[in-house]
Chain A
């Protein structure tokens, strides 16, 4: 497959193409992608055993390319592959992947009886 940079670029091209395909397929992709994320969250919580926030965050780190840091009721997304792709200019801010991850996270937190609101790479849990 060549060197790492070329490989990385090819995967970023595929992600960009997927983002663009979803936008073309669903004109109202934002709401749609939140639902797609929630469906995946529903599948993921079947395999999650944790009943508290810290345990759940650890399990989330295992099943998604993200890293979290908890500050009481606020969870800061320390590492997120989607944010990296935005910062690198691969995809734009108005992408389909952020609503997907928002839907996913909110559904996962519902499994431990909490409500999660995701905004600006932060999750507020109630």
Chain B
């Protein structure tokens, strides 16, 4: 089962992420890297779909998990367009967010609580575009690493709540970002364009996991991974920004890692994960 997961879900997105970036770096073009990270993200989901049959129909169906890769890639395209054509990116993002509300957020939440829809839209918007901006200022491995770990941690929480489809989508996105982080650690480059898409994937999947699963996993375990990457934005604080790079990175990544640890602890203490897959 573990080997199968490595072959179908974990390995391909990582290799795709690394290879796309290396290829883009070889081209030595300013636009090649941002385009390649969005292409890598799309290929990563396509590989998961092809190898693990995540959605045999490919197009989104009534199932939430089938919408997530499409929303994630569309969000990443918004990030890609944002620097040169902010108005176009903003309009596209509004459409993507509206689709996310219609297809992912359950109708019960449209009116009650009143903050549900704004929170559902604002969380990925602020986190995604905030991290994109931060990455433009200080490109490095910290942002893709934390976003990747958040996606993987959310996947682990959700598999404890018995939803393998949602976990697979999250892990594919997370592993792809880990590939970016690895290359970034050796030779820094901007990964910011991917952040709106990754952030949208994270928050929509966490909501889907919370809404449509049945388990003893507490609700806080679902939303903690969704807010964790946003804590990287403390990097905007002047006194953090002025610190030496190693100290700054440590101070930035520590709070999200603690939050992710709490989320995993909550999930693991309330549900046992068995490697015997009932179905």
Q: Decide whether A and B are members of one complex.
A: no
Binding site for A on B (CB under 8 A): none
